[in-house]
Structure 1
Amino acid sequence: MQIKRAAVIGSGVMGSGIAAHFANAGIPVVLLDIPAKEGDDRSAIAKGAVQRLLKTDPAPFMHPKNAKLVTPGNLEDDLALLADVDWIVEAIVENPAVKADLYRRIDPVRKAGSVVSSNTSTIPLGVLVEGQSDAFRRDFLITHFFNPPRYMRLLEIVGGEATRPDALAAVADVCDRALGKGVVRCKDTPGFIANRIGVYWIQTAINAAVDLGLTVEEADAIVGRPMGIPKTGVFGLVDLVGLDLMPHIAKSLLATLPENDPYRAAFREHPVITRMIAEGYTGRKGKGGFYRLNRDGGAKVKEVIDLSTGAYRRSDKPKLESVSTVGRDLRALADFPDKTGQYARRVLAHTLAYAASLVPEIADSIVAVDEGMRLGYNWKQGPFELIDRLGTAWFADLCRSEGIPVPALVEQAAGRPFYRVEDGRLQHLTTAGLYDTVVRPDGVLLLSDIKRASQPVWKNGSASLWDIGDGVLCVEFTSKMNALDGDVMAAYGKAMKLIGDGKGNWKALVIHNESDNFSVGANLGLALFALNVGLWPQIEELVEGGQRAYRALKYAPFPVVSAPSGMALGGGCEILLHSDHVQAHAETYMGLVEVGVGLIPGWGGCTEMLARHAANPRTPKGPMPPIAGAFETISLAKVAKSAAEAKDLLYLRASDGITMNRDRLLADAKAKALELAANYTPPEKVTYTLPGPNGRAALELFLEGFALQGKATPHDMVVCGKLAGILTGGPKADVTQPVTEDQMLALERRAFMELVRTEGTIDRVEHMLTTGKPLRN
């Protein structure tokens, strides 16, 4: 079966967010809620939800136009709309009786064979279908989205004994390919995978922090990055999801968990938290939570609660010897001879032992459990991967020392790792004690799998070249934050030599990596060092070398396809502008942000954006409109907050592709590279018609207006003045004489080198490296 249209019933935060994400995938969706009791518009509740979505930050819609795919209505007048949809998602209150009543109302009107799913995370499927028709039972399943639905990748799916296999397969496929989810098959158990383990982990971590007398900041510093958990740690995470949500989840789990489940022993109400909820300190959505911003006197002071007294105090970054000395060595952290080591031992032992004890109860394999925690709670590694970091034998000893029964799976491992690489393939330990290969879904190609099975074709300190099959070479950035430097440019040059004319062993090049961010741009640390010691020739060589490398790739005799995800900023954006095709993950955030550090795009970004605006059919005719468009985008350092928005800003072309599931990005990019290679012709070189000083004067008038309004600082005027000079062709340009790309790139280099010598730019670069924030000087 195919799913072409959908419906969501319930327009609260989750329901409306799910509807928005259907729209992001291009799937028309009906959004229904109860009729409004006041006013003339009975569908006002659902319509109001759509309007809230458009104002929410971070945005649930990848592009505001996607809201047009959502049809709001109400459950009394518009039930007939369900007759045209293929999948109905119920996202109403967690009350079995209310859900059962809704199901009986929609069953007669829905299309025969349409799928119905509940977004519940607490009610067993068997309870939900009790008393429903046989046809309804066959079409029913659970699809548990995580909030916010656009950004959280996990989708837990549960089928019942009567659920049609083809219904499960159809929903799993559309969630994977269209919605971009990591689909994890779960068993019909309380909390499924992620919340079953996650809630126990949160409870254990809070209990241990209180018992050991740790501060909130200390606990988050230990549980966070050293364990591969987001920097929110555990208390910051509870603030994010809402303290008031935790008692409801606890109540549900306590009502449904087995009598001997360890969560029952771990569950504890803390008076300070109960009081916080009662007083409205429910986290970020309330007046604050464990952390809050005190705005008294107009200042913004970050404060944290004292777990023993319940009073707020100024929050300070904890200075923990354990965290600062052990790095990523979890064993060393757990062995550290103070209360921070004791805290790490307790949290690791209880959480990981609990997770290991739940297989095969909650899922058939450890792979599903690890993926659930990575995608649902943003852990870098799942529980079994963390046990491997500790060593299974060492972990068994840890459990014994903490008075915890050693889980059967850990005993069965008998010192062996849960994961191993055999003949280049990743394998996992099964519940039978044997190793089995981790199988990827069809159409998934991961660079990490390629790296396990092969050696790089070539590598240096900042980049590697990989053979990804079928004559396609891949450049992977490997520097910190994928910052770009001379070694990356050397990797491009090596790839050019290896591929040659594209008619030999190699046909095409893909630029891709699996880091959180594609690239944050040039290595500012190296740049600042060079600025401080006056290495001007080296800086100019880096700029000119980048221009040469990017231009060589643009006009190479073979196709270059870039496949970004996450942030692609500055020089990371510029390589995308020079690629024949960009296959972008939907969550790609692109922008030329150099003005924030007092610079201009120096690797061809100004030149390419001017060409994009000139070629755009929406740009008015004449020399100034393309210049004005490029100037606005670059001078304001506009960053697209999705791949869809990147097309509006012309960072991406209409012909560039968008992949919703990040795991499918490399395969899609490789397929496009091979398609282009079949009959490839390099692009023709571009010339520009530019007005010179007269055009620059017009842009500077625009800038002066911004300065008078307080929207441009003194150094903004300097930087944007240089940008205006580039985009208008320099002091000798004239509309009667075409300006070549070579001339444009020379203008970029000259402006860049003039700016790096200014005190204002040096201050901006230094401030960015020190604080991570732009300086408004």
Structure 2
Amino acid sequence: MSTINKVCVIGAGVMGAGIAAHCANAGHDVLLLDIVPNGAENRNAIAEGAIKKLIKSNPAALTHKRNAKRITPGNIEDHMDMIGDCDWIVEAVIERLDIKQDLYKKIDAVRKSGSIVSSNTSTIPLDNLVAGMSDAFAADFCITHFFNPPRYMRLLEVVKGEKTSQSVIDTVSDFSDRKLGKSIVHCKDRPGFIANRLGVFWIYCAVVEALDQGLSIEEADAIIGRPCGIPKTGVFGLMDLVGLDLMPHVIDSMVGLLPADDPFVKIKRDLPLIENMIADGYTGRKGKGGFYRLNREGGKKVKEGIDLQTGEYRPTVKARLSSARTSVRDLRKLVTHKDKGGNYAWRVLAQTLAYAAMLVPEAADDVAAIDEAMRLGYNWKFGPFELMDKLGTDWFAEKLAEDGFDVPAILKMADGRPFYRVENAKVQYLTTDGDYTDLVRPEGVIMLSDIKLASEPVLKNGSAALWDIGDGVACFEFTSKMNSIDPDLMALLGKSIREVKKNFKAMVVYNEGTNFSVGANLGLAIFAANIAAWSEIENMVENGQDTYMALKYAPFPVVSAPSGMALGGGCEILLHSDAVQAHVETYTGLVEVGVGLVPAWGGTKEMLHRWSNNPKHPRGVMPGPGKAFELISTAAVAKSAEEAKANMVLRDTDGITMNRYRLLADAKAKALELAVDYQAPEKPTFRLPGESARVAFEMAVDGFVRQGKATKHDRVVSLAVADILTGGAEGDPTVEMSEADVLELERESFMKMVRHPDTLARVEHMLLTGKPLRN
């Protein structure tokens, strides 16, 4: 297996630029090439323009803007010779076979021996792409189908041709797994491969059935969304997101390559409504709107949805189908519900799941590959075969036959058995031979879900659990709703620290939820405030401080392994850990001021200590508190693990894992490394700047209020943060303060804020709407 160092991407459109950005995120130099624009003075204008767009993109394509410096722009007329330095050349140009093949001939003339060439095509068969090319080129060629946006979408479909060398597949797969963080699904050379073959069929089927059954777009999205374990955008919202104008091209290309008896071909028909919308510029969010739009006439903002029968826009109407209130946990209840939503769900799922079953072994060797493709390519919570298990394979097969649908061969072969089972503490899936085989994880992957199948927790309550993950390492797992931090979780964390001290070498704080932790359970806080249980709230704050300090000074290393949001109290756990091994997509910060509070579980203290002792930062008593004040008072959230390092929530020595599946293994390895001759950190002291600094902070905040950048209550909360950072009433740069002194300032400021009526209004508003109140 060869090594990939430098990458070339040819095609600087949205997808090509995104692939280049993510290779740069992984720390690799990238050559980005495109055509020379007609009549342009700057022959690199397209590639250079793409890089500028990457820097400004939202959501950000780059995990840190400085990564753009790793991308070198060029053009395919002047700079093809530079490809000779590249180990992997990714073609991401327009979906035209003649253009691609002409490009391949140019690439083959300048690439170095053994370099890998791949296409990001989603529709053109690999055999067609390499037709007429040399055997050496075909041996080094494969398809690597990324999903947009490449930074965030974890699926990568890899297609091997008849002549492709296995070492090419191994090299690309390993690099994309470890360095780019992708989950690799190996597909057969079939139209649309797996995810788009099934995903586009599902979308198209859902649109056709909504039209035929007279559902509104709101009703269709409400049914096909969360009740089916699918993002709340549903189908029509998803089409707006992707772009309506892309769908006809993808569908026509797919249908043109499939046999006449394929279900995709059979359901294809003209859809005048969508054709008219595209012609009128209603192509989705990138255009004037799509199925949904925001009407700004008269200075108002009214969300509107299109009427599928008339083609006219009208204000959106909330779906009032009782079937929309069902849960994916009881999927059969949804599809048997006696309203039009239940019938719609059945019609769409029946055809989609049956089509998925037809794709084994045509497009994929096993059911696990198709499930992974749909989970990661379309953000389904459960893959189609997992959904069939929820329905019951025997019930589903009988219902299909009863309603006149063909029953796929693999469903007949299952004969009522589930597609997945747990045997000998291992997940197994049903193969096309009719036997079960273990679901094998890639080398170097540890999943807590697997460990939980084979063992019982060391400790457990309703909000958390402690697990033995082997080699003397324990794993503390949050299990509360949204992984929020409540008294039960804190109690078990304290108990776990004592347990690990006696029986383990180290502890990892980790879970496999969407988010590491959204912070403290605000519902409990508002309940206590409403009954004026101030002493209970103060006890919660003090207990949290004591627990986090026990975590920080435990006689064993603690490694936190966050992914997704690590906010407020979740961020404070990171700040009190010996080390952090963060998934690259970690979004973290101290956000308490957004709900009118201050970080009081030691977060203010830790940020103050880190910025005051940053060797890259100016020395003196003011710069450290100043930077901590800037980050905390603005509730700054790092949008990646790299940005978290820039904010000093993570240290330079903390690790970043690109692949979410590898996070626990990497954190465990770091914990074992630290456990050798481990010593707890020394206790810091503080010299805080006092009243003059507080006045400076107050003047700065007042300026923001005058400019309309801060509200009245923002000022109150920000000055409460300033009280802590400047040392309170006793603040004096000549007087040394302890951690306990700063923690006391945190408690005092928190209790002052939690009693404030404007803070209570903010907390209630956040709980009701999920959005901050700007009062």
TM-score, length of structure 1 as denominator length = 0.99
Displacement after TM superposition at 1:562 (Å): 0.3
Letter in 1 for 2:298: G
In structure 2, the partner of 1:350 is 351
Amino acid of the residue matched to residue 556 of structure 2? Answer: F
Correspondences of 1:20-59 after superposition (within 5 Å): 20-59=21-60
Shift of 1:334: 0.7
What are the superposed Cα offsets for residues 155-180 of structure 1, whole Å, 9 maximum, x if unpaired? 00001111011111000000000000
Alpha-carbon distance in 2 for matches of 1:505, 1:721: 45
User: Deviation at 1:327?
Assistant: 6.3
SS of the aligned residue for 2:729 comes to coil
2:735 to 734, 737, 757: 737
Distance in 2 between the 1:39 and 1:222 partners?
Answer: 50
1:671-709 CA distance string (max 9 Å, x none): 000000011010000110112222211211111111111
Which of residues 574, 589, 606 is equivalent to 1:608? 606
Q: 2:698, 2:296 → 1: CA distance?
A: 38
Kept in 1: contact 2:507–2:558 (CA 8 A): yes
2:652 aligned counterpart, secondary structure = coil
State the partner residue of 2:587. Answer: 589
Paired with 2:708 and 2:619, the residues of 1 have a C-alpha distance of 31
| Amino acid in structure 2 at the alignment position of 1:484 | I
Letter in 1 for 2:673: E
User: Structure 1: how far apart are the matches of 2:582 and 2:453?
Assistant: 24
- SS of alignment partner, residue 362 of structure 2: coil
1:103 partner amino acid: Y
Contact 2:8 2:89 in 1 (8 A): yes
Q: Mapping of 1:70-85 within 5 angstroms?
A: 70-85=71-86
- 2:475–2:510 Cα contact (<8 Å) kept: yes
Whether the 8 Å CA contact 1:205–1:234 is kept in 2: the answer is yes
Residue 338 of structure 2 is matched in structure 1 by 337
Q: Could you say which residue in structure 2 is the equivalent of 1:278? A: 279
Residues 232-260 of structure 1 show CA distances to partners (whole Å, capped at 9, x for unaligned) of 10111111110000000011111111221
1:404 counterpart = 2:405 = yes
Contact 1:509 1:560 in 2 (8 A): yes
CA distance in 1, matches of 2:552, 2:473: 17
Partners in 2 of 1:173 and 1:482 — Cα distance? 32
Q: 1:566, 1:588 within 8 Å by CA — same for their partners in 2?
A: yes
Could you tell me which of 621, 626, 629 is aligned with 1:628?
Answer: 626
1:373-397: per-residue Cα shift (whole Å, max 9, x none)?
A: 0010000010000000111011112
CA distance in 1, matches of 2:212, 2:316: 21
Shift of 1:754: 0.8
C-alpha distance in structure 2 between counterparts of 1:153 and 1:654, whole Å: 26
Please list the CA deviations of residues 242-296 of structure 1 after superposition, one character each: whole Å capped at 9, or x if unmatched.
Answer: 0000000011111111221100111122211111000000001111101111111
CA distance in 2, matches of 1:39, 1:279: 31
Cα deviation for residue 298 of structure 1 reads 2.0
Please state whether the residue corresponding to 2:433 is helix, strand or coil: coil
**After alignment, is 555-564 or 533-542 more displaced?**
533-542
Unaligned runs of 5+ in 1: none
Give a deviation string over 1:711-763, Cα, whole Å, max 9, x none.
12111111111110000011012111111100100010011011111100000
1:10 partner letter: G
TM superposition shift of 1:338: 1.4
1:685 aligns to what? 683
Residue 443 of structure 2: SS of its match in structure 1? coil
Give the Cα separation in 2 of the matches to 1:457 and 1:419: 27
Tell me which amino acid in the other structure corresponds to 1:481.
M
Q: Is structure 2 residue 761 aligned with structure 1 residue 771?
A: no
Query: 1:462 is matched with which residue?
Result: 463
The answer as to 2:516 corresponding to 1:518 is yes
In structure 2, what is the equivalent of residue 153 of structure 1? 154
Q: Distance in 1 between matches of 2:298 and 2:482?
A: 38
Assess if the C-alpha contact under 8 Å between 2:194 and 2:373 holds in 1: yes
Structure 1: which amino acid aligns with 2:193?
F
Distance across 1 between alignment mates of 2:490 and 2:290? 47
In the TM superposition, 1:137-176 aligns within 5 A as 137-176=138-177
C-alpha distance in 2 between matches for 1:269 and 1:590: 47
Contact persistence 1:346–1:402 (CA under 8 A): no
Q: Which amino acid aligns with 2:383?
A: G
- Give matches, 1:482-561, under 5 Å: 482-500=483-501, 505-561=503-559
Q: Deviations over 1:1-50 (max 9, x none)?
A: 00001100000111111000110001111000011223322111111111
AA aligned to 1:148 is P
| Cα distance in structure 1, aligned partners of 2:773 and 2:227 | 30
Secondary structure of the residue aligned to 1:200 is helix
Instruction: Give me the whole-angstrom Cα distance separating, in 2, the residues matched to 1:480 and 1:326.
Output: 16
Aligned to 2:110: 109
Which amino acid is the alignment partner of residue 728 of structure 1?
T
Query: Superposition pairs for residues 105-254 of structure 1, below 5 Å?
Result: 105-254=106-255
Counterpart amino acid of 2:408? P
Alpha-carbon separation, structure 1, partners of 2:344 and 2:286: 29
- The CA deviation at 1:108 is 1.2
Q: Return the alpha-carbon distance in structure 2 between the equivalents of residues 17 and 433 of structure 1.
A: 41
Q: Which amino acid aligns with 2:77?
A: E
**Does the Cα contact within 8 Å between 1:229 and 1:378 map onto a contact in 2?**
yes
Higher mean C-alpha displacement, 489-498 vs 192-201: 489-498
Aligned partners of 2:40 and 2:205: how far apart in 1? 48
Residue 750 of structure 1 aligns to a residue in which SS? helix
Deviation at 1:326, TM superposition (A): 5.4
Partner residue of 2:288?
287
For residue 303 of structure 1, give the secondary structure of its aligned residue in structure 2: strand
Please give the secondary structure, in 1, of the residue aligned with 2:158. strand
Q: Which residue of 2 aligns with 1:644?
A: 642
| 2:307 aligned partner, one-letter code | D
- Residue in 2 aligned with 1:753? 751
Match of 1:695 among 683, 693, 711: 693
Paired residues for 1:361-400 under 5 Å: 361-400=362-401
Amino acid in the other structure paired with 1:627 = P
Q: CA deviation at 1:325?
A: 5.0
1:505 is displaced (CA, Å) by 3.3
One-letter identity of the residue aligned with 2:758: G
Q: Deviations over 1:442-474 (max 9, x none)?
A: 000011111111111111111011111111111
The percent identity for this pair of structures is: 63
| C-alpha distance in 2 between matches for 1:272 and 1:341 | 25
CA shift at 1:357, angstroms? Answer: 1.1
Deviation at 1:605, TM superposition (A): 0.6
DSSP 3-state at the match of 2:266: helix
| AA matched with 1:766 | E
**Partners of 2:351 and 2:403 in 1: CA distance:** 8
Query: In structure 1, how many angstroms separate the alpha carbons of the residues matched to 2:97 and 2:586?
Result: 39
- For 2:304, what is the secondary structure of its paired residue? strand
Q: Is the 8 A contact 2:227 2:326 kept in 1?
A: no
**Are 1:768 and 1:774, in contact at CA under 8 Å, matched by a contact in 2?**
yes
- 1:551-597 Cα distance to aligned partner (Å, 9 max, x none): 10001000000000000111010100100000000000001110000
Contact kept in structure 2, 1:345 and 1:398, CA below 8 Å: no
Q: Aligned-residue CA RMSD in angstroms? A: 0.9
Q: Deviating runs (4+, > 4 A) in structure 1?
A: none
**Cα gap change, 1:129/1:327 in structure 2, threshold over 3 Å: closer, same or farther?**
closer
Q: Which residue number in structure 1 is paired with residue 68 of structure 2? A: 67
- Counting only pairs closer than 5 Å after superposition, residues 654-733 of structure 1 correspond to structure 2 as 654-733=652-731
What do residues 631-665 of structure 1 show as CA deviations (whole Å, max 9, x unaligned)? 00000010100001111111111000000000000
Paired letter, 2:619? K
Note if contact 1:349-1:402 (Cα within 8 Å) is conserved in structure 2.
Answer: no
Q: Are the counterparts in 2 of residues 158 and 186 from structure 1 also a CA contact under 8 Å?
A: yes
Equivalent residues in 2 for 1:279-318, closer than 5 Å? 279-318=280-319
3-state SS, counterpart of residue 730 of structure 2: coil
Equivalent pair of 1:550/1:603 in contact (CA under 8 Å):
yes
- SS of the aligned residue for 2:477 comes to strand
- Tell me the distance in 2 between the aligned counterparts of 1:770 and 1:171: 47
Shift of 1:402: 2.5
Residue pair 1:475, 1:491 contacting (<8 A) in 2 also = no
